[in-house]
Amino acid sequence: MRNQARNRRRADCRVRAGPSQLAPPPSPEVLEAALDQLGNPHALEAKLAQAITARDAVVDEINALIRSAANTDFNPDAFEADHARLEADYQHHLDTVESLEKQLHELEAKRAAITAFHQYRSENPAISYTPEAWRALVDHATIHPDGTIAIAFNDG
């Protein structure tokens, strides 16, 4: 009974709303704002370059440790301790590099999807609004108390 009443209210809302009006094709400013909201890939690329440099520096330290052990008398306990410390540093930097690469790949994929949608929408204005088209692009939208709307896009 409750579901029937709710469905009637939904149907009443749809009838009262009338046919949906189509939005004009998005402007380049809208695309730029959406891409800005996602984030700057150049900042991630810079962080990635720093992480790669740090990782490579640890590799150089490991190689230097091995060379010094081969050329001089060494304390095995000190060597093992230094090697373990450097290996932990390397793993930390490797994890950072992999995480940043993943973030960069996801950001580039999202930017490409939004750009492709903008281009398609600019060249092919929508013939009619369909909820399926909205759900294919948007995961959810949140209306904040200050009146701003945050839209979370699907990654696929």
**Contact (CB, 8 A) for 133 and 124:** no
Q: 36 is in which domain, residue-wise? A: 26-128
Q: Is residue 71 part of a domain?
A: yes
Q: Is residue 18 part of a domain?
A: no
Of residues 24 and 111, the one with the higher pLDDT is 111
Question: Domain count of the chain?
Answer: 1
DSSP state of 156: -
Is the per-residue pLDDT at 77 higher than 80?
Answer: yes
Q: Is residue 67 part of a domain?
A: yes
**Contact (CB, 8 A) for 90 and 62:** yes
Q: Is residue 92 part of a domain?
A: yes
Q: Which of 14-18, 26-30, 99-103, 139-143 is most confident? A: 99-103
Q: Is residue 13 part of a domain?
A: no
pTM above 0.85, yes or no: no
Report pLDDT for 21.
Answer: 55
What is the percentage of the chain residues whose pLDDT exceeds 90? 40
Is the per-residue pLDDT at 131 higher than 80?
Answer: no
One DSSP character per residue, 37-95 reads: HH--HHHHHHHHHHHHHHHHHHHHHHHHHHHHHHHS---HHHHHHHHHHHHHHHHHHHH
Q: Is residue 111 part of a domain?
A: yes
Q: What is the pLDDT of residues 39-54, one digit of tens each?
A: 889 999 999 999 999 9
**Contact (CB, 8 A) for 82 and 65:** yes
